[in-house]
Amino acid sequence: MIRAWLDNFWRWIGGGGTGGTGGLGARGERLAARYLKKQGYHLLERNLRNRFGEIDLMMMSPLRDTMVVIEVKTSLQSSDYHRPEFRVNHVKQRKLVSLASQWCCHKKIEGLPIRFDVVGVDLPAGGPPVIRHYIGAFESGV
C-alpha cells in the first residue's frame, strides 16, 4: 500500500517511482537499453544493486574499448528546463563513481577506461518516447 502511494506520488511530481519491475523507471531503462543496443552498445548488466545504491545499466561501448556506466532518468512530461536527466546531481554522480569502482574491483577489471553517460527518457501521453543520450555526461577519476 505504501509502495503504491509512493509510486503515485513520484509519477505525480514527474519522478520515476520506486523502481518496481513494471514502473516508470523500469520502462525507461528498457527503452534506453534497446536504444543503446541499436547504437552498437553491448549490455553487460542491468540494475546492479548493493547497499550503497544502484547502477541502471553497465554497457560496453560500440568499439568495445570502454566500460560505460549509464544512469537513466524517466519522466512522463518534461520541458527544456525540467528534463528528467537534470536530476543527476553531484551527489548521484559521486555515488555512481563509487559503485562503478566497487563493481570493477569485484569483477577484477583493470586497465579499461570507464565513462559515465546519462540517458533521459520522456514518455509523453499519446506520443512516442523521446530519448536523449549524453555521452560522457560527467567525469571521474576511476
pLDDT tens sequence for the chain (142 residues): 555 555 554 444 444 444 445 699 999 999 999 999 999 999 999 999 988 899 999 999 999 999 999 999 999 876 777 788 888 999 999 999 999 999 999 899 888 999 999 999 999 988 999 999 999 999 886 5
Cα dist from 77 to 14, 35, 56, 99, 112, whole Å: 7, 19, 21, 29, 37
Q: What is the CATH number of domain 2-138?
A: 3.40.1350.10
Question: What pLDDT shows up at residue 115?
Answer: 96
pLDDT of residue 65: 95
| pLDDT recorded at residue 91 | 93
Q: Would strands 53-60 and 114-122 be described as parallel, antiparallel, or unpaired?
A: unpaired
pLDDT at residue 142 in the model: 57
Q: What is the pLDDT of residue 2?
A: 58
The 10 Å CB-count burial string (b at 16+, else e) for 110-139 is eeeebbbbbbbbbbeeeeeeebbbeeebbe
